Amino acid sequence: MLATRERRRRLAAAPASELVLAAKHGDDADRDALVRAFTPLIAGVARFYRTRATIDREELMQEGVVGLLRALDRFDPEHGTPFWGYASWWVRQAMQELVSELGGTIVLSDRAQRKLARIRNARRELLQRDCREPSPTAIARETGLARDEVERLLAAARHPRALEEPVGSDHDANTTLGELLDDPRAVEAFERIPRRVEVEQLPRLLAVLSERERTIIAARFAPDGLERTLRELGEDLGVSAERVRQIENVSLDKLRAALA
């Protein structure tokens, strides 16, 4: 065990070993040998990012190898920098991108990840001790971090919610989160149109829209007050409610451009 650790230490500290130089200027076999030699170090980085059940160790290892080979292509042995000291940054970046893709929308730096781990540990201890959810102020006091930093890190770690996620009680089961979020830009843009358009301009304006766009605009802003929801239109058109919202915004942009 000690001999293995010593070999890894020497490998990580070597400025530009024969193995690295052979892999940089050699063939696939040389690169495979480099990957095998650095696999234990890549595995050590992967353990840090295995924070969620949805992220598989094998996937992290594969991304780590990708990062290692990226580093090899860019590595300049003339600078005298230890190869692993340079490559470890690329390995971490590749794994962070995977974690972001599979687990969330925000990539946190290693430093931020460590602070978040402190916050989570403090929250768990305070919850066990006080039997209630601790406030950001209490967590900040426990960790020694600023309150606004605690709030930012907790917000970054939250799971994003899909716009098509059902919300409300059972009788509102067909209502989605996206339908509850107003789009002030779209609403205000449409409300400005009637005030600036004469009746004779309407045919010219509507001509810039496709048939589907006209259908959506007419249904969303029905003059008789019987507006239809994004979900209802999506079911009729065979697309998602989010796609209907996107088409609606594009249509309003076209109308606004036609007015200009």
CA distance 152 to 163: 22
Q: Domain 170-259 belongs to what topology? A: Arc Repressor Mutant, subunit A (1.10.10)
The pLDDT score that the predictor gives to residue 142 is 92
- Using the predicted structure, report yes or no on whether residue 255 has a pLDDT greater than 70: yes
The pLDDT score that the predictor gives to residue 140 is 92
9: pLDDT confidence band, cut at 50, 70 and 90?
A: low
Decide: helix, strand or coil at residue 166. strand
Picking from 93-97, 157-161, 228-232, which range would have the lowest pLDDT averaged per residue?
A: 157-161
- Using the predicted structure, report yes or no on whether residue 16 has a pLDDT greater than 60: no
Question: Per-residue pLDDT averaged across 228-243, rounded?
Answer: 84
Q: Domain 2-103 belongs to what topology? A: Four Helix Bundle (Hemerythrin (Met), subunit A) (1.20.120)
For the chain, the residue count is 260
Q: pLDDT: is 179 or 122 the higher one?
A: 122
Q: What would the pLDDT profile of 197-213 be if each residue is shown by its tens digit?
A: 544 566 677 778 888 88
Task: Give the CA angle between residues 22, 34, 57 to the nearest 5°.
Answer: 160
CA distance 157 to 14: 37
Give the distance from CA 182 to its chain's centroid.
Answer: 23
Q: Which of 73, 75, 156, 72 is nearest to 111 (CA)?
A: 156
**Sequence letter at residue 131:** C
The pLDDT score that the predictor gives to residue 143 is 92
Q: pLDDT: is 189 or 30 the higher one?
A: 30
Mean pLDDT of all residues belonging to the chain: 76
